[in-house]
Amino acid sequence: MAAVGVAPPLIALGPAGWVALGVLGIVSVGVTAVSIYNASKEADETLSNEEPGCTENCPEKGEKDSDLTGEKPKDYPKNPDNLLDDGYEETTHPEAGKHGVRRFKNPKTGDEVEFHKGKTGASGWEGEDHWHRFNPNKSGKEDAMLDENGQPVRKGSNPSHLEPK
């Protein structure tokens, strides 16, 4: 944009001005391209691909984000250790485990779930034991999780929180 204000005087200078205007235009485009590249790189470093813990943006229990289908819900145990008896392997990250988050994967089916231990005194889902089930076919945050009927739902949405039974 800076080139617009200086263009008429440079054009009036003849061929030397035209060259100067061309160089100024190329530099402006280069600076803009570098700015866009740096912003993109910063966004890649800042925005995590990790699944969030429930302490981040959990809705209040009972909020509705979408209608559920009429399929039979999958039951998740109150004690996460019971999944080990069903062929699941624990894949919990040590830091997550310190915060009451445990992850399990069934090597035969590929099913992957995460248990969040409720925090005493916390409200909503953060205060209650619950599960999250990952969508193996996700394309982004909008369909990253599965609801109790196995239907894709948004990460952090109310239907992505599954009650132990």
Q: CA of 145: how far to CAs of 3, 46, 52, 151, in Å? A: 49, 22, 12, 8
Exposure class string for 125-160: b at 16+ Cβ within 10 A, else e: bbebbbbbbbbeeeeeeeebbbbbeebbbbbbbbbb
| Tens-digit pLDDT profile for residues 8-57 | 765 666 777 667 767 777 767 666 656 666 655 555 444 445 544 544 44
Decide: 69 and 149 in contact? Cβ < 8 Å.
yes
| Tens-digit pLDDT profile for residues 50-79 | 544 544 445 555 544 333 333 334 678 999
Domain ranges of the chain: 2-46, 53-165
| pTM score above 0.85 | no
3 state DSSP class of 64: coil
Band the pLDDT of 131: cuts 50, 70, 90.
Answer: very high
3 vs 143, residue with greater confidence: 143
